[in-house]
């Protein structure tokens, strides 16, 4: 809960649950087995999972408990699970189109694009496609695959928008 986005979600979720007569228990887990034990040993009515990085097999085990589970910002294509996702691809695409419409042509992208499941990779793909659609490519020199927490993201944005002839950057971060 280090960022205001998650803090707001937790606050709104708790208020909504309270209005429905439920109480919320907030837990964090360091291992997948802990979550399975929690589902086995507690009489819970359901769960909301923030950005789970579990594989599909593990998520299937959770869903087998027949408890309502809402998954935030992660999609499991092979499962019938209720997910609430951000349009990461659309966000990257929109950022590229916006910057180009503002007259920028040599635009950089910075973010921790490290794994296939990474939302930042999806944002970068949208950003690349938004540029490609109007005949601009996203080259290695225009990309920075780097960790971009807020303060570093600002610094990277300023650096990426500098030479050689770069006039803007889209900086992406998950947190």
The phi and psi torsions of 108 (rounded to 5 degrees) equal -95, 160
Q: What is the rounded distance in angstroms from the CA atom of residue 57 to the CA atom of residue 61?
A: 7
- Spell out the residues 6+ positions from residue 48 whose beta carbon is closer than 8 angstroms to its own: 13, 69, 70, 72
Minimum mean pLDDT among 78-82, 92-96, 129-133, 169-173: which range? Answer: 169-173
Q: List, for residues 95-132, the tens digit of each pLDDT value.
A: 989 988 888 877 878 777 665 456 778 888 898 898 88
Alpha-carbon distances of 166 from 1, 41, 43, 66, 156, rounded to whole Å: 35, 56, 56, 52, 13
Instruction: Report, as an integer, the average pLDDT of 139-154.
Output: 68
Average pLDDT, the chain: 82
**Structural tokens at position 143:** 């990309």
Q: Give the model confidence (pLDDT) of 32-75 as tens digits.
A: 899 999 999 999 999 999 888 788 999 999 999 999 999 988 87
Is a pLDDT exceeding 80 seen at residue 84?
Answer: yes
Structure confidence at residue 59 (pLDDT) = 92
pLDDT on residue 157: 61
């Amino acid at each position: 809960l280090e960022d205001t986005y998650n803090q707001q979600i937790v606050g709104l979720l708790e208020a909504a649950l309270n209005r429905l007569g439920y109480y919320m228990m907030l837990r964090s887990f360091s291992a997948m087995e802990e979550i399975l034990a929690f589902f086995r040993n507690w009489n819970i009515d359901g769960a909301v999972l923030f950005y789970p990085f579990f594989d599909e097999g593990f998520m299937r085990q959770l869903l087998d408990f027949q408890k309502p589970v809402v998954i935030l910002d992660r999609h499991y294509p092979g499962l019938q699970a209720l997910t609430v996702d951000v349009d990461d691809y659309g966000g990257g695409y929109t950022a590229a189109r916006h910057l180009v419409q503002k007259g920028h042509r040599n635009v950089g992208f910075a973010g921790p694009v490290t794994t296939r499941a990474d939302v930042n990779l999806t944002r970068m793909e949208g950003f690349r496609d938004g540029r490609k659609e109007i005949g601009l490519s996203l080259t290695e020199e225009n990309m920075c695959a780097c960790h971009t927490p807020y303060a570093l993201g600002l610094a990277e944005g300023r650096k990426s928008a500098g030479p050689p002839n770069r006039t803007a950057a889209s900086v992406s971060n998950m947190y």
